[in-house]
């Protein structure tokens, strides 16, 4: 059984005010060609299909075109919602689309019914579990104590009634403890969304979405495939599509196929004179790549952004690195520190008001309250 694992398309995304729709259309066409060449038994899309819960018309049209192209290849598609998606919107029309081989995860209702696929090694049970918060699961299991994301996922998986004798595959969208985040991802308040990898032990392969860097978590078969495009200059990894081949029970092979973007994200550094020298840029693709330029000139260059964009047409970001910026003490001039968590801010305020730290019991109560408030946010 061969499956292609995708996630985090973020259709409609803008990076530094640049629309990525043209780049996304290019990469989806490349993925469609790869599907035609590989002829998998299914394509798994592990959430964050759109960048916003209310996507633009152009983003919806792009997804529609992609799904139609996959349907015309007679390739079944299995798609779930992520934390950036509105599950109700994404699930709309799902029952009608099943006739075309497009299977959309319904809004979570406490039950996850598997899709049964068949090959020479017997049945394979495929489960679609959209992004969940503890509050989503508590609603359907009021008698179960659910205090964390690990509790929530453990409860949802425990209710699936898995058959350990067959191959089981899960498509889900969560942050698994031990995975590495990147700059372009949304971080939850206080880092409360961690899920322990142990809850996924019953599955032969877990197709994860949420993190933008391709990576395994603890084992090769617990995997983030990453975004098909770079959405931040810090993302250095080559983008790819993950392929999974499941033989008989216990034998799973994971490998990748590289993707080539329409434009690269490039970081350039040097003086204004160096970077505007024709011999430097005219024989490169920098003029059409997305570029972050760091100028090393000691004096600011007047209207530098506009001048540089006459050469580097997709210049996204301009910075300076010189004696002034390295010695500046103001927060605006230096590199911003990551914000403190709400719990840390509360503990600091409590200490200043009471002259004593929060007790462990108070910390636990505050953490639980913060999680409940965060879960209620859309």
Structure tokens at 79: 């798609």
Q: Is 189 exposed, middle or buried (0-12, 13-18, 19+ CB in 10 A)?
A: middle
75-126 pLDDT, tens digit per residue, is 999 999 999 999 999 888 888 888 899 999 999 999 999 999 999 999 999 9
Q: Is 85 helix (H, G, I), strand (E, B) or coil?
A: coil
Contact 52, 86 (CB under 8 A): no
pLDDT band at residue 373, thresholds of 50, 70 and 90? low
269-324 pLDDT, tens digit per residue, is 999 999 999 888 888 889 999 999 999 999 999 999 999 999 999 999 999 999 88
- What is the four-CA torsion angle of 244, 247, 249, 254, rounded to 10 degrees? -20
163 CB neighbour count, 10 Å cutoff? 12
Sorted by sequence, the CB contacts under 8 Å of residue 353 that are 6+ apart come out as none
Q: Is 73 helix (H, G, I), strand (E, B) or coil?
A: coil
Beta bridge partners of 109: none
232-242 pLDDT, tens digit per residue, is 988 877 899 99
> Using CA atoms, how far apart are residues 26 and 6, in angstroms rounded to an integer?
15
> Using CA atoms, how far apart are residues 330 and 360, in angstroms rounded to an integer?
35
Sorted by sequence, the CB contacts under 8 Å of residue 186 that are 6+ apart come out as 83, 84
35-74 pLDDT, tens digit per residue, is 999 999 999 999 999 999 999 999 999 999 999 999 999 9
Average pLDDT over the chain, rounded to whole? 89
Mean per-residue pLDDT, 219-248: 92
Q: What is the distance, to the nearest Å, from the Cα of residue 93 to the centroid of all Cα atoms in its chain?
A: 24
């Amino acid at each position: 059984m061969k499956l292609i694992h995708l996630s985090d398309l973020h259709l409609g995304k803008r990076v530094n005010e640049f629309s990525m729709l043209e780049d996304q259309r290019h990469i989806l066409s490349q993925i469609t060609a790869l599907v035609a060449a590989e002829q998998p038994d299914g394509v798994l899309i592990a959430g964050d299909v759109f960048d916003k819960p209310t996507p633009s018309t152009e983003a919806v049209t792009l997804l529609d075109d992609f799904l139609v192209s996959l349907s015309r290849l007679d390739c079944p598609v299995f798609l779930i919602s992520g934390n950036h998606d509105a599950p109700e919107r994404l699930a709309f029309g799902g029952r009608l689309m099943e006739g075309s081989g497009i299977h959309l995860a319904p809004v979570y209702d406490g039950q996850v019914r598997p899709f049964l696929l068949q090959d020479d090694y017997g049945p394979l049970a495929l489960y679609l579990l959209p992004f969940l918060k503890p509050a989503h699961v508590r609603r359907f299991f009021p008698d179960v104590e659910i205090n964390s994301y690990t509790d929530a996922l453990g409860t949802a998986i425990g209710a699936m009634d898995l058959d350990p004798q067959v191959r089981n595959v899960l498509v889900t969208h969560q942050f698994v403890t031990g995975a590495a985040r990147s700059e372009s991802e949304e971080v939850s308040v206080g880092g409360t969304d961690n899920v322990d990898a142990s809850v996924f032990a019953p599955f032969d392969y877990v197709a994860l979405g949420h993190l933008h860097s391709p990576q395994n978590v603890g084992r090769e078969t617990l995997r983030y495939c990453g975004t098909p495009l770079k959405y931040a200059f810090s993302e250095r990894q080559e983008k790819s599509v993950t392929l999974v081949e499941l033989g008989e029970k216990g034998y799973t092979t994971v490998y990748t196929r590289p993707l080539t973007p329409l434009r690269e994200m490039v970081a350039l550094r040097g003086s204004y004179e160096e970077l505007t020298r024709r011999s430097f840029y005219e024989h490169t693709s920098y003029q059409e790549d997305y570029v972050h330029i760091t100028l090393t000139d000691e004096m600011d260059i007047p209207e530098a952004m506009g001048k540089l964009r006459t050469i580097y047409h997709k210049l996204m970001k301009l910075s300076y690195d010189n004696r002034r910026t390295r010695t500046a003490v103001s927060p605006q001039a230096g590199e911003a520190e990551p914000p403190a968590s709400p719990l840390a801010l509360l503990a600091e305020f409590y200490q200043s008001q009471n002259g004593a730290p929060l007790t462990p019991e108070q910390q636990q109560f505050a953490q639980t309250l913060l999680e409940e408030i965060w879960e209620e946010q859309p």
